[in-house]
Structure 1
Amino acid sequence: MSQVTLRSFHADDVEGVLALWEASSRSAGQPVYGLAEVLASCEKDHAVVAHAAGRLVGAVVGRAAHAQGWVVFLGTAPGHESLGDRLLAALEREMTGTGLTKLSALLTDDPVGLDAFHRQGFRALKDLHYLERDLPLQRAEVALLAELGGRMLPRDRWDAIGGMTEEKGLLERRLVVPLAHPEVADRFGVAPPRAVVLFGPPGTGKTTFAKAIASRLEWPFVEVFPSRLAADPAGLAGALRETFAKIAALEHVVVFIDEVEEIAGRRGGEPPSPLQGVTNELLKLIPAFREQPGRLLVCATNFIRAIDGAFLRHGRFDYVLPIGLPDAAARRAIWQAYLPAGADGRVDLADVVASSEGFSPADIEFAARRASQSAMEHAMATGSDPTALTGEGPTTQDYLRAVASTRATVSAEAAAEFQEDITSLARL
């Protein structure tokens, strides 16, 4: 065997390390650390390479994290497996003196690599699990997302929506699964949706569902506010065009436009409405938006009948989905969120839920806060010192009185019109 020389990594060793990493991925499965991480650590952290007969036959790469060092990669060419011990020892010598107290490694099930670590004094620790998660937002996107006023939403938004099983099931099947698992959609010939309209009476949770979809997909959520864009020197149409151009730079995104009828209303009339130019601009932006994968436009409206017919046609929006008033299970979950701690035992929630049929989520929130305020004020009437109040909090009767004195946002006429709109305009 040719004489082997160990030395620190040089820039011209990149191709050799790349070849070792690719060979390792073929023989022992995907290495724990990706190629980009390995190459970055070669240049910025610690790396030792082995050369024999003019070619690179081994490499070990390490990275320091506070007082702990990590072996990022260990690879040897066929016939040079015994070099693993020497490479690890050389890396340890190079990293000694940098304040490290421990050197650790995460490995795939590669017997050759494991043996080298064991011979060098590494020990396997029991009851440890390697867990990893791909971060949904890359560094380059953070500043752009902040500029757009967007954000990543907590992952629990979807599960936090209680009840509404029919609506959630529909959104799961039509939107979430094809977008989250494009390979599955492709196998069945399903084209992932790019744009949808959510319609329904005011306060039924259309915005909540849009955010829940973004949360479920773990995509950034960007809400476009036409009223804010109108103040732009470029005008509403120009500002809208510029906003969508910036959004195009994000890898994944859910874009939300609420009350879209304000900028996509029926065109016509003499003289033409000043917003017709904005509607035309939006109609041109949607096809371009649809060409990019990994994005979803969600438009919401309380007045689906007011939207221009060209806006809703096939080819622009994949689905036009109704979001109605919460069912009993959803109302129960909403009420539960507003009950003070310890109220479960003294409040007949079934009665409260039944009495609030026809209420929107916003109506329930208003009634719940009214009941709490009323109960506190009643307790205050018995004494002047708020800290000495002895009341236990709202009772069933407090909630029932609050429901009775709250006018539902959605009238019977509006609810009937919604059912008609489902028949004539929904596209499921």
Structure 2
Amino acid sequence: MARIHIREFHDDDLDAVVRLWWEARTSAEQPVYSLAEVTASCREDHAVVAVRDDQVVAAAVGRAAHAQGWVVFFGIDEDARSENVSGALFDALERRMAPLGLSTLSVLMPEGSRLELLTSNGFDTRHSLRYLERQMPVQRRELDLLKEVGGRVLPRHLWGNVAGMRHEKQLLEERLVAPLAQPDLADRYGVVPPRAVMLFGPPGTGKTTFAKAVASRLDWPFVEVFPSRLGDGATGMAAALRETFEQIVQLEHAVVFIDEVEEIASQRRGDPPSPTQGVTNELLKIVAEFRDREGLLLVCATNFVRALDAAFLRHGRFDYVLPIGLPDDEARNAIWRRYVPAEIAQDVDFPRLVAESAGLTPADIEYAARRASQDALARALRAGVRQSDDAAAELETADYLAALGVTRATVSAEEQSAFLEDIEALARL
């Protein structure tokens, strides 16, 4: 079965939207808005559609009134409901309407409607009228500022996409997400919401993925600060870093991420001082000031935690120093299933692939899976297979094992051993 993709509404899609509207009329989810209102909003307001094989299988239509956004119509074919199309549609409609400076995205549904497609995608039921609204993660006054600092709003489902790695996810959920998302509950137990956290581990183990997942879970904007783009020379970098954070702290909420932080936080030593010592000193001051701000979380990541200046790892700067290691069996299984085509998954020996990929990073497994798929596609092209053919892809376990055979592990045994030593010496959970 062909995959579904989301795009903006075209005039040629109107007949399909009308069909979805009439199908909804015969179900429990009878449209609140008339067909005339829906078709008018398709043309004059905002609409996105989900398409499979050039056929529209779902649509979401919205309009704005002052700071309030309304979903005028949402319809989806029954056979597309199991593919998480609704989440992608709502995210696309939200992105389409975000420049209008909306504070909420709301939906009116009649009694008897199945609400799980809405409640599972960030909408909350407000009262017995079954009025649902979804809070916009960035308010109008912050849109320009977020754009200036290079921030963005991530999809809401990234946390669920991080399969396996239960220990790491539990740590992040309990230490970071829960106290920030439920500050009153945290206060009841005397827990102070974290302000800064350090993630460390070998390259390619998913530190950036976890940082983005935390932002997605909190529904906060994600702002990544790139040390390499801060400016020329130590003085220029320090000033640029200060200016960047002065802008960021004006946001009401944000997860601020610095990857490879060792570039600007390495150990200070020597006389005369190293060229980056001024940047390191400035970052230390910034972290201390950042901790006084509510609603913001600084996440730093490093592949070389032992190279960081000792001042960064002292209590009072980073609340937690958390290790992110190689994926466990469950995580590797989930990663393989993400990249193996669904049409052939039942014939693939996933336990074998999980066992053979032990010691590989998520990026390594992705490379092997994509290489197997690319090699299979090349064989099909040479054999004259065309897009219109309905035959299943000729791709099996042996192809993935062959790709694994030429995949180099990012993390060596020595690096993994050093990582375990760092956990014992430096981790703070």
Root-mean-square deviation over aligned CA pairs: 2.3
Distance 1:162 1:316, change over 3 A: same
CA distance in 1, matches of 2:229, 2:319: 27
Gaps of at least 5 residues in structure 1 are 1-63, 71-105, 107-126
Residues 1:403 and 2:404 aligned together: yes
| Contact map agreement 2:201 2:303 (CA 8 A) in 1 | yes
Displacement of 1:232 in angstroms is: 9.1
Give the number of the structure whose alpha-carbon radius of gyration is greater: 1
Which moves more between the two structures, 223-232 or 281-290?
223-232
The within-5 A match list for 1:27-426 is: 129-231=130-232, 235-383=236-384, 392-426=393-427
| Contact map agreement 1:153 1:221 (CA 8 A) in 2 | yes
Displacement of 1:216 in angstroms is: 0.5
Displacement of 1:129 in angstroms is: 1.2
Distance 1:216 1:388, change over 3 A: closer
Distance 1:369 1:145, change over 3 A: same
Displacement of 1:390 in angstroms is: 6.0
* Runs of 4 or more above 4 Å deviation: 231-234, 383-391
Cα deviation, 1:296-318, whole Å, max 9, x if unaligned, reads 10000000010000111111000
Displacement of 1:393 in angstroms is: 3.1
Normalising by structure 2, we get a TM-score of 0.68
SS in 1 for 2:135: coil
Count of paired positions: 307
CA distance in 1, matches of 2:235, 2:207: 30
In structure 1, the partner of 2:11 is none
SS in 2 for 1:298: strand
| Contact map agreement 1:201 1:418 (CA 8 A) in 2 | yes
Cα deviation, 1:50-100, whole Å, max 9, x if unaligned, reads xxxxxxxxxxxxxx969xxx9xxxxxxxxxxxxxxxxxxxxxxxxxxxxxx
CA distance in 2, matches of 1:264, 1:279: 5
Gaps of at least 5 residues in structure 2 are 1-63, 71-107, 109-127
Displacement of 1:269 in angstroms is: 1.6
Distance 1:313 1:65, change over 3 A: closer
| Contact map agreement 1:255 1:297 (CA 8 A) in 2 | yes
SS in 1 for 2:257: strand
CA distance in 1, matches of 2:404, 2:302: 26
SS in 1 for 2:134: coil
Normalising by structure 1, we get a TM-score of 0.68
CA distance in 1, matches of 2:371, 2:175: 38
| Contact map agreement 2:364 2:409 (CA 8 A) in 1 | yes
